[in-house]
Chain A
Amino acid sequence: DIQMTQSPSSVSASVGDRVTITCRASQGTSSWLAWYQQKPGKAPKLLIYAASSLQSGVPSRFSGSGSGTDFTLTISSLQPEDFATYYCQQAYSFPITFGQGTRLEIK
């Protein structure tokens, strides 16, 4: 199984800050990597697919990069609605696996 490790596990930031979350896969996943945002009590929302493609309707302040084993999600200028938990997910092979999540909190 491919293990997905996110860092940091939590981060505090302010509105307007630039934030980067990293995700490392235990083996290569090419560009088969997705990022999700989840708010409390809600289902996850797809933000980025294929490592760097922005899902329709997602603000352009979100971006993804990377390939192989190392990936990043960047939020260029945090907005109040961005405070949530973020998960990466490898879509390369079964079993599909998720990172443990990164909680983005207001400083």
Chain B
Amino acid sequence: QVQLVESGGGLVKPGGSLRLSCAASGFTFSDYYMSWIRQAPGKGLEWVSYISSSGRTIHYADSVKGRFTISRDDAKNSLYLQMNSLRAEDTAVYYCARDHYSSSYDFDSWGPGTLVTVSS
């Protein structure tokens, strides 16, 4: 069955960096567009970034543009999010999610999430 598992979250100081990973299994990872979506404690869902199956098309939310970088390694069935210049407002559970079907931009599979806390 489809499985997505995030890792790499933790406590980091403002201005610091963190790299999140998402390990995918149970489907042909290279066929799917993928996204990162986050949820601040007690708040709603915020889409963060998207990468196409080829890796050639990438989008970011304005709130993270220039600070976060999404990437993928199809050989390792893995999705990544490099987060630099972290701010307190980046504190959230970060989910990786799979596009329902090619460029549908809705999400049929999600990981359990990894918590990122930005605090001094």
Contacts and interface: CB of A to CB of B under 8 A. Distances in A.
Contact of A49 (B45, B46, B100): B100
Contact of B95 (A43, A49, A100): A43
A98 B44 contact: yes
Contacts of B50: 94, 96
Contacts of B100: 34, 46, 49, 55
B18 to A, nearest CB: 20
By DSSP majority rule, is chain A's interface helix, strand, loop, or mixed? loop
Contacts, number: 58
A46 B47 contact: no
Contacts of A36: 45, 107
Interface in A61-79: none
B45 A95 contact: no
B47 A98 contact: yes
Contact of A43 (B35, B44, B59, B110): B110
Contacts of A16: none
Nearest to B93: A43
Interface residues of A, number: 23
Given A43-B110, A91-B105, A97 B47 contact: yes
B12 to A, nearest CB: 22
B44 A96 contact: no
Given A43-B111, A89-B47, 16 more contacts: A32-B105, A34-B100, A36-B45, A38-B45, A43-B112, A44-B95, A45-B110, A46-B106, A49-B106, A55-B108, A92-B105, A94-B105, A95-B59, A96-B105, A98-B44, A101-B44
22 contacts: A32-B106, A34-B100, A36-B107, A38-B45, A42-B112, A43-B95, A43-B111, A43-B112, A43-B113, A44-B45, A44-B110, A45-B110, A46-B100, A46-B107, A46-B108, A49-B100, A49-B104, A55-B108, A91-B104, A92-B105, A96-B105, A98-B46
